[in-house]
Structure 1
Amino acid sequence: MMVKVQEIGAEIVPELKSLQSKLTIAGAAGVVVCAIGLALNPAQFVRSFLPAYLWMLAITLGSLALAMVHQVSGGAWGVVIRRILGAASRTLPLLTFLFLPIALGLRSLYPWADAAHVADDPILQWKQPYLNVPFFLARAAVYFIVWNAMAFFLNKWSVEQDATGDPMIPRKMQLLSAGGLLAYGLTITFAAFDWLMSLEPHWFSTIYGVLIMGGQALSAMAFSIVVLAWLVRRAPFDELITATHFHDLGNLMMGFTMLWAYFAFSQYLIIWAANIPEETEWYLHRTGHGWQYMAIMLLLFHFAVPFLVLLHRAIKRNPAMVSKVAAVIVVMRFVDLYWLSAPAFAHGGEPHFHWLDVALPISLALVWLGYFVYQLRGRALLPLYDPEFREALKHVRTA
């Protein structure tokens, strides 16, 4: 191998700094445009902001979860994207701050946050001990504390491992990840109930939490493939990252695609079979009055097409091709979150798209990407002292 692993750092990709500047400037322009939308229509702003925010949060928390899965399970697949996952998880402080518009706009989002609405609804009165503003905000604070703490310690120990090569650090990260995955599962489940399911508080689904978790894992894996495909076009990653790495990651992305589809279909099948009006109404809102076209789009481009394409080994081994599939999945993750949330504000009617529905996800994505690139270029792009680093490099020799 001609490349010295000691030279594998952020300095070998000078384009990152330029890319960060471009993303930041574009994001700032988007923020100005969206601020005008906020001034003109605050209620619409927060309703458009919710799916855009959850889109970026899904990549961030999915990255944290995948990083913990790799710490527990091991495998060469996680070594090559570990820095990408770490950089994404370090954007959590930004997303914690960006939760503020949701916290301030609860009455525009959730019927249970409107006292007048609750007074006329016996079901909401019965659910009020859980669905009330102070308890909602307290739960959100707990979620963010748990997520930020896990991300902080995993990244802190990763830096120490780079500096010292201490063989005990991987064990610490493994122990934290084992408990962290349990904490992640619990907090994501309740956050999904709070932030999405309670948009229509009469409706409930016990599988909703794992559906959101599956989407987050898929978001993070697809995003990581897109970033890795960008890196592999530059030295020395063109020598270190091989078709075998992309084949492994493509298989995992296909698996997560199937997992998401399984959860989504299971929820639909159970509710359809039970045929209880208070449960079926949620799907009626999303499969009629024009919303059915978005559902068909999800069926085709979130599952069927990616699944069929990823069955081909040659495509998974081609960085350019598999990254295109991954990019489509990243975009469809937003469509899914929009389909989950926006019909709640249409009250069973036709979709009425607003320009903020497009401006906010683009602007928020630009801001988040700028901060992600800043985090990515601040550290070595491969974990040189990871115990499995040599195993990951074996792909170079055996591919």
Structure 2
Amino acid sequence: MKSHTVQTSDITRLGPGSAKLVRVAGVIGVVGLGAAIASGLVSAGGYRRFLFAYLVAFCFCLTIALGALIFVLLQHLTRAGWSVTVRRPAEAIAATLPVLGLLSLPILFSVASADGALYRWALPVGQVGAEEPSSHVAASPHKSPSTTAGEAVVRAADSDPAQLAKPVLDSLILRKRAWLNPAFWIVRVVGYFAIWSLIARWYRAQSAVQDRTGDAAVSTRMQWWAPLAIIATGLTVTLAAFDLVMSLDPHWYSTIFGVYFLAGSFVASFAALIVAVFALRTAGFVRSSLSTEHFHDLGKYLFAFVFFWGYIAFSQFMLLWYANIPEETRWFARHGATTVQADISGWSFVILAILFGHLLIPFAGLLSRHIKRSVGILVFWAVWLLAFHYLDLYWVILPEAGGDLNVHLADVAALVGVLGVFVAAAVRLLACENLIPTADPRLHEALAFHNI
């Protein structure tokens, strides 16, 4: 095999200077989390609002890490050579999953306390029973001959977003209690993070071992386990999307939601990887080993998954609209997807912002080959898409708190807090190893890589 090595002019370790960045990001994260918690304590209904804001920020960082993990697994599965020099930042981002597991504690605590503040299905059955049908609900226009009185109550409650602020258990939720119960839910979520953390840390550790030993068999071993790891990751991410996000409304269900969550994860992870690689080069690291060719390929993936996300988003909406099942259509109505004048809210404008900002505008902006090879412009689109990915998660999660669009201090503070800790962890992990897998047998392919 032809041998290539990293250019001697390249700096392949972050060095002691990274410790300052870790401290700064960590302090910002702790201050942000403290401010988010304080905002929840001092305002009426603030605890519940804090939980929803925290879940948005948490899912934002989680999707970046999960997308990076799948990226690493795909590179080993396909024996990709071009990506060797951009793989180490992705490994570090994916390896933050144990830290994100710790950051999930406020969400787990809410479920364990059975307060129903975040997930209304978590209320104890003995404390709040199913609603009884009332006479005014019986005349609901959504009630069909096959609809029970209890279901009619549920659908009537779903039509009023204000009802979400007063969580109750009802007949439809109780039917799903075998899956949506606090103990089993917590076990599942802990299991997801255990699986993700094991896979991410193992691949990062094996890559570091190869740097020290130069053993080419390590790549073969990682490639052998990649199919099993990617199947396990795909299944658990899908279930986690159902448990963490879709179950906010236990009446609503979408079989394509897991793919929607994954598509957003891919967009976010490629955007974050572009920003991370750009930051390394700007700071003077691995300048010769990370070329315009690598940015070009990352831009291709970013463009592809912008389109894929749009396709999945439209498919989900179209399938639910066509089926016209009240438990499904009510979810979209509460989130602003309605033509009824009385139901139009601030969320309706958020939908339009996501349509243009997450799909149509970046699709046109990333279409050109020239844009993908213009590093500065590509980084702009990466930051743009990270912002709209957050907005997409905000739109999916926050309407389930009830009421119209209302930006809260907790939203900003939670994002700053979780993102600060996430960045600190990623930089700390990246500083522990070489920035380039220096002994990877396919390194020569990445160094000689040219797009056609």
TM-score (norm 1): 0.94
Aligned AA for 2:39?
G
Which residue does 1:383 correspond to in 2? 437
User: CA shift at 1:122, angstroms?
Assistant: 1.0
Residue deviations 1:264-292 (CA, integer Å, cap 9, x gap): 11000111112222211111111232101
Describe how 1:123-272 pairs up with structure 2 within 5 A.
Answer: 123-235=172-284, 237-272=286-321
C-alpha separation in 1, matches of 2:292 and 2:298 = 10
Match of 2:146 in 1: none
- Residues 193 and 359 (structure 1 numbering): CA distance in 2 closer, same or farther, change over 3 Å? same
1:96 aligns to what? 101
1:34 counterpart letter in structure 2? A
Q: What residue in structure 1 maps to residue 61 of structure 2?
A: 56
Deviation at 1:239, TM superposition (A): 2.4
Give the letter for the 1:338 counterpart.
Answer: Y
Question: Which structure: greater helix fraction?
Answer: 1
CA contact (8 A) 1:46 1:102 kept: yes
Separation in 2, partners of 1:29, 1:167: 45
Q: Structure 1 regions of 5+ residues with no counterpart?
A: none
Q: Distance in 1 between matches of 2:23 and 2:395?
A: 32
- Counterpart contact for 2:307–2:363, Cα < 8 Å: yes
* Residue among 11, 20, 23 paired with 2:22: 20
Q: Which residue of 2 aligns with 1:327?
A: 383
Distance 2:9 2:186 in 1: 46
Contact 2:12 2:285 in 1 (8 A): no
Equivalent residue runs for 1:312-391 within 5 Å = 312-346=368-402, 349-391=403-445
CA RMSD of aligned residues (A): 2.0
Q: Which amino acid in 2 is paired with 1:111?
A: R
Cα distance, 1:232 vs structure 2: 2.0
For the residues of structure 1 that align with 2:325 and 2:49, how far apart are their CA atoms?
31
The one-letter code sitting in structure 2 at the alignment partner of 1:36 is: A
Distance 1:118 1:394, change over 3 A: farther
Deviation (angstroms), 1:24? 2.1
Alignment coverage as a number of residue pairs: 395
Q: Please report how far the alpha carbon of residue 117 of structure 1 lies from its aligned counterpart in structure 2 after TM superposition.
A: 4.7
Unaligned runs of 5+ in 2: 132-169, 337-343
Q: Which of 114, 120, 132 is residue 111 of structure 1 equivalent to?
A: 120
Amino acid at match of 1:314: H
> Does the C-alpha gap of structure 1 residues 19 and 392 become closer, same or farther in structure 2, counting only changes over 3 Å?
same
Do structure 1's residue 70 and structure 2's residue 79 form an aligned pair?
A: no
TM-score w.r.t. the length of structure 2 is: 0.83
Q: Is the 8 A contact 1:87 1:375 kept in 2?
A: yes
Determine which of 13, 22, 33 is the counterpart of 1:10. 13
Q: Following the alignment from structure 2 to structure 1, what is the Cα–Cα distance between the partners of residues 272 and 358?
A: 14
After TM superposition, give the deviation of residue 140 of structure 1 in Å. Answer: 0.9
**Is 1:84 matched up with 2:89?**
yes
Partner residue of 1:295 out of 314, 326, 351 = 351
Is this contact kept in 2: 1:77–1:249, CA < 8 A?
Answer: no
Q: Match for 1:56: what amino acid? A: C
Residue 77 of structure 1: CA displacement? 4.0
Secondary structure, aligned partner of 1:47: helix
**d(CA) in 2 for partners of 1:377 and 1:4?**
19
Cα deviation for residue 21 of structure 1 reads 2.8
Alignment partner, residue 447 of structure 2: 393
32 and 111 in structure 1: CA distance in 2 versus 1, 3 angstrom threshold: closer
Aligned mate of 1:33, from 32, 35, 49: 35
Cα shift at 1:388: 1.7
Letter in 2 for 1:390: H
Amino acid at match of 1:248: D
Q: How much has 1:317 moved relative to structure 2?
A: 0.5
- What is the deviation of 1:14? 6.1
Written as runs of structure 1 = structure 2, the 5 A alignment for 1:267-278 is 267-278=316-327
Q: Residue 35 of structure 2 contacts residue 410 of structure 2 at CA under 8 Å; is this kept in 1? A: no
Amino acid corresponding to residue 104 of structure 2 in structure 1? F
- TM-aligned CA distance change 1:119 to 1:275, over 3 Å: closer
Mapped partners of 1:127, 1:109: distance in 2: 17
Q: Which has the larger radius of gyration?
A: 2
After superposition, the Cα gap between the structure-2 partners of 1:118 and 1:395, relative to the gap in structure 1 and judged at 3 Å, is farther
